[in-house]
């Protein structure tokens, strides 16, 4: 049985709490949050203790820590938890700063504790099926990947200001998806960004609409499109064109009913947002982490994967500012 300390009782911490408590081989032992009442409330739902970070790190019966705190705390908490002998699943991104994330990788790589990064979309059954079909050679050589990732509505500007920007906060998932599907890192990044959804996002120094092109050493290309607004809901699709065919993963709809009349054909909207769309992915992600820690299975998304995605986010941020293509090497 994996006994788990959860750090962060916010939006995503609550999702992880459900999955930790609901898994046959894990138990939510304790919850810590700088907002003590949030920790107490969440711990109370699952019969767990509410405590401090230090309580969790000092408790030898706790063998894993899930980091679901704000992004600027991630590297510090990964280092502290692994130094205390805990396996770690940390939410994306590894840090707001690439340099700090690289330092975290360097400091923790020798200590023998597994660290997994929460790129949950790799566990989405649709995207996982694209990867499996591509690996099996079902469309020949994959040559062009297109990722569409639109949020239903922009976040508050107060969130944008502390998020690290669209490339580090939002497109980071798509950079990791490109790395996962293409099985390699690109050698160059070109980004174009605008703030046309909400000019206040632009005034805060960020973009809300962006297109990024990734080029690989062997000539393959990936294109990522992000928007903070899609009037019809959360749009999460990808297409992989290969020498012998095309793989497409489409949106998951709220229901499967379509209405066909003289006026046309109408179906339900896509699942509302990430908590709904990726619920199965969060469950599968947790299951993979439990298997890695208890059974010694491979860590499917490593800290190095987290650093790689952040390197692309940083390159895209720079490219969108300068208009130049940025070469990447890790
Ligand atoms: N993988 C995903 O789909 C996904 C989705 C949402 C958020 N996230 C990531 O998860 C992290 C949290 O996001 P959120 O939306 O849940 O934020 P949130 O603000 O709802 O929750 C964060 C919680 O962490 C607590 N906290 C902050 N610093 C802390 C510290 N040092 N020690 C203990 N608690 C601390 C806050 O009080 C808050 O309760 C972010 O890094 C975000 O990028 C990932």
Q: What is the pLDDT of residue 321?
A: 97
The answer to the question of residue 290 being in a domain is no
Q: What is the pLDDT of residue 110?
A: 85
Q: How far apart are CA 205 and CA 73, in angstroms?
A: 22
CA of 7 to the centre of ligand 1 (A): 9
The answer to the question of residue 182 being in a domain is yes
Find, among 148, 161, 117, 260, the residue nearest to 212 by Cα: 148
Domain range spanning residue 55? 2-113
Print burial letters for 143-171: b (CB count within 10 Å at least 16), e (below 16).
Answer: bebebbbbbbebeeeeebeebbbbbbbbb
Ligand 1, residues 14, 52, 70: which to mutate, most atoms within 8 A of Cβ? 70
Question: In CATH, what number is assigned to the domain containing residue 108?
Answer: 3.40.50.720
The answer to the question of residue 289 being in a domain is no
Residues 42 and 80 placed together within one structural domain of the fold:
yes
Coil, strand or helix: which one is 184?
coil
Q: Show the ligand 1 pocket: residues with CB < 6 angstroms.
A: 7-13, 32-35, 38, 53, 68-71, 73, 91-92, 118, 120, 274
Q: How far apart are CA 54 and CA 4, in angstroms?
A: 14
CA of 8 to the centre of ligand 1 (A): 6
State the total domains in the chain.
2
CA of 91 to the centre of ligand 1 (A): 8
Q: What is the pLDDT of residue 116?
A: 98
**Tens digits of per-residue pLDDT, 50-61?**
999 999 999 999
Residues 89 and 215 placed together within one structural domain of the fold:
no
Distance of alpha carbon 324 from its chain centroid, rounded?
26
Confidence of residue 330 (pLDDT cuts 50, 70, 90): confident
The H or E element containing residue 246 is strand 245-249
Residues 133 and 232 placed together within one structural domain of the fold:
yes
Torsion angle of alpha carbons 74, 75, 76, 81, nearest 10°? 80
Could you tell me which residues are beta bridge partners of residue 142? 242
Mean pLDDT of 215-224: 98
Ligand 1, residues 11, 67, 73, 160: which to mutate, most atoms within 8 A of Cβ? 11
The answer to the question of residue 257 being in a domain is yes
The answer to the question of residue 218 being in a domain is yes
Residues 9 and 61 placed together within one structural domain of the fold:
yes
Question: In CATH, what number is assigned to the domain containing residue 176?
Answer: 3.30.360.10
Residue 111: is its pLDDT beyond 90? no
């Amino acid at each position: 049985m994996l006994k788990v300390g959860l750090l962060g009782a916010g939006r995503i911490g609550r999702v992880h709490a459900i999955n930790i408590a609901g898994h046959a081989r894990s138990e939510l032992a304790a919850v810590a949050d700088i907002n003590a009442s949030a920790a107490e409330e969440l711990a109370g739902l699952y019969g767990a203790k509410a405590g401090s970070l230090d309580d969790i790190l000092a408790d030898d019966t706790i063998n894993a820590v899930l980091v679901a705190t704000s992004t600027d705390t991630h590297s510090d908490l990964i280092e502290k938890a692994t130094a205390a002998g805990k396996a770690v699943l940390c939410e994306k991104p590894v840090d707001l700063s690439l340099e700090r994330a690289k330092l975290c990788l360097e400091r923790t790589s020798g200590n023998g504790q597994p660290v997994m990064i929460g790129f949950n979309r790799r566990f989405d059954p649709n995207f996982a099926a694209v990867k499996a079909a591509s690996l099996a050679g079902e469309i020949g050589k994959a040559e062009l990947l297109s990722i569409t990732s639109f949020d239903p509505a922009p976040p508050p500007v107060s969130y944008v200001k502390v998020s690290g920007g669209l490339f580090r906060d939002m497109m980071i998932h798509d950079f990791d998806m490109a790395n996962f599907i293409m099985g390699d890192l690109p050698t160059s990044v070109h980004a174009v960004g605008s703030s046309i959804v909400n000019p206040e996002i632009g005034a805060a120094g960020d973009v809300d609409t962006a297109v990024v092109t990734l080029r690989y050493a062997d000539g393959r290309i990936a294109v990522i499109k992000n928007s903070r607004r899609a009037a019809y809901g959360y749009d999460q699709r990808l297409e992989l064109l290969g020498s012998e065919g095309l793989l497409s993963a489409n949106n998951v709809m709220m229901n499967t009913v379509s209405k066909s009349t003289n006026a046309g054909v109408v179906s339900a909207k896509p699942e509302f947002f990430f908590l709904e769309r990726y619920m199965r992915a969060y469950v599968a992600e947790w299951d993979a982490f439990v298997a890695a820690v208890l059974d010694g299975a491979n860590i499917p998304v490593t800290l190095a994967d987290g650093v790689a995605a952040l390197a692309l986010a940083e390159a895209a941020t720079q490219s969108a500012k300068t208009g130049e293509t940025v070469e990447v090497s890790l």
